[in-house]
């Protein structure tokens, strides 16, 4: 089995190189490149085609949010794992909404960071446990003040979505592509696309990223009973 190829993006040279050294000690991980800002990250991804990108948020020039939005739009199968000092729920929400598959704090134990990388590579959405209570609290306040006034499936007991649609939403929240969804559910991609379109319509969402971020609020990032669980950070 090929090692997980990784690109590390961070403007702090000491931290970036320290992280690379930690990752290179793992047999199943291969660091194939590094970048100091979002623009360099885009260039490196196009050149090196990594499996996972470690992305800092606050960098000179093009920041991590802007770079993540571009990367996940152009390469939908690319996994971006944010690694940052920011404990602001708003930053977490923005990162997930533009396609990041994980959000981990730099103060995390090195093993937690490595585990997060592996879980994101496997298709899971990973969030540091220290962020969860604040995320849920702040996101609730944010939705009250800035979210469009549309029906909330959580408040409606999720009755707007069929059981099949809830299952698909859970898999979307875990970062699966349409092809992966079709393989997992043993249906055609056209069937998956129809379900996703119906889900977006019912949730009044513009795209999969918005639905995935909303699903995170509902706790859909966690495996359902009967799934093969992978412990999240």
Note whether 171 and 192 are within 8 A (CB): no
pLDDT attached to residue 226: 43
Same domain (yes/no): 31, 91: yes
Q: What is the CATH number of the domain that holds 177?
A: 1.10.10.10
Q: Is residue 144 part of a domain?
A: no
pLDDT in tens, 142-172: 445 444 444 444 433 344 677 788 788 888 8
* CA atoms of 148 and 37, how far apart (whole Å): 33
Same domain (yes/no): 130, 201: no
pLDDT attached to residue 196: 86
| Across 12-21, average pLDDT | 95
Query: For the chain, what is the domain count?
Result: 2
Same domain (yes/no): 177, 76: no
Instruction: Please write down the long-range contacts of 110-116, taking CB distance under 8 Å and 24 or more positions apart.
Output: 110/22, 112/233, 113/19, 113/22, 113/83, 114/22, 114/23, 114/26, 114/29, 115/231, 115/233, 116/81, 116/233
Same domain (yes/no): 202, 128: no
pLDDT in tens, 78-90: 999 999 999 887 7
| Two tokens, residue 151 | 């029906």
pLDDT attached to residue 137: 59
| Across 1-14, average pLDDT | 94
pLDDT in tens, 102-154: 999 999 999 999 999 999 999 888 888 777 666 555 555 544 544 444 444 44
| Site of tokens 């199968």 | 77
The length of the chain in residues reads 233
Residue span of the structural domain in which 213 resides: 150-217
Same domain (yes/no): 125, 155: no
| End position of a domain, from candidates 101, 134, 167 | 134
Residue of 230, 194, 232, 200 lying closest to 215 (CA atoms): 200
pLDDT in tens, 170-179: 888 777 888 8
DSSP state of 182: H
Same domain (yes/no): 23, 128: yes
């Amino acid at each position: 089995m090929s090692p997980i190829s990784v690109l590390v993006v961070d403007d702090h040279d000491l931290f970036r190189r320290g992280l690379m050294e930690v990752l290179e000690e793992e047999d199943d991980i291969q660091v194939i490149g590094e970048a100091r800002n979002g623009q360099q990250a885009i260039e490196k991804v196009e050149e090196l085609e990594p499996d996972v990108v470690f992305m800092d948020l606050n960098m000179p020039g093009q920041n991590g949010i802007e770079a993540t939005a571009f990367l996940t739009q152009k390469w939908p199968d690319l996994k971006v794992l944010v690694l940052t000092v920011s404990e602001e729920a708003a930053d977490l929400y923005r990162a997930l909404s533009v396609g990041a598959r994980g959000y981990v704090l730099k103060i995390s134990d090195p093993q937690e960071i490595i585990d997060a990388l592996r879980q994101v590579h496997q298709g899971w959405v990973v969030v540091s446990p220290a962020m969860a209570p604040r995320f849920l609290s702040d996101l609730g306040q944010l939705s009250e003040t800035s979210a469009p006034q549309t029906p909330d499936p959580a408040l409606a007991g999720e009755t707007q979505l069929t059981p099949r649609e809830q299952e698909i939403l859970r898999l979307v929240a875990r970062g699966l592509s349409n092809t992966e969804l079709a393989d997992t559910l043993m249906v055609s991609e056209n069937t998956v696309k129809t379900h996703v379109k119906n889900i977006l319509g019912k949730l009044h969402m513009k795209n999969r990223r918005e639905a995935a971020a909303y699903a995170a609020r509902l706790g859909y990032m966690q495996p359902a009973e009967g799934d093969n669980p992978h412990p999240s950070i």
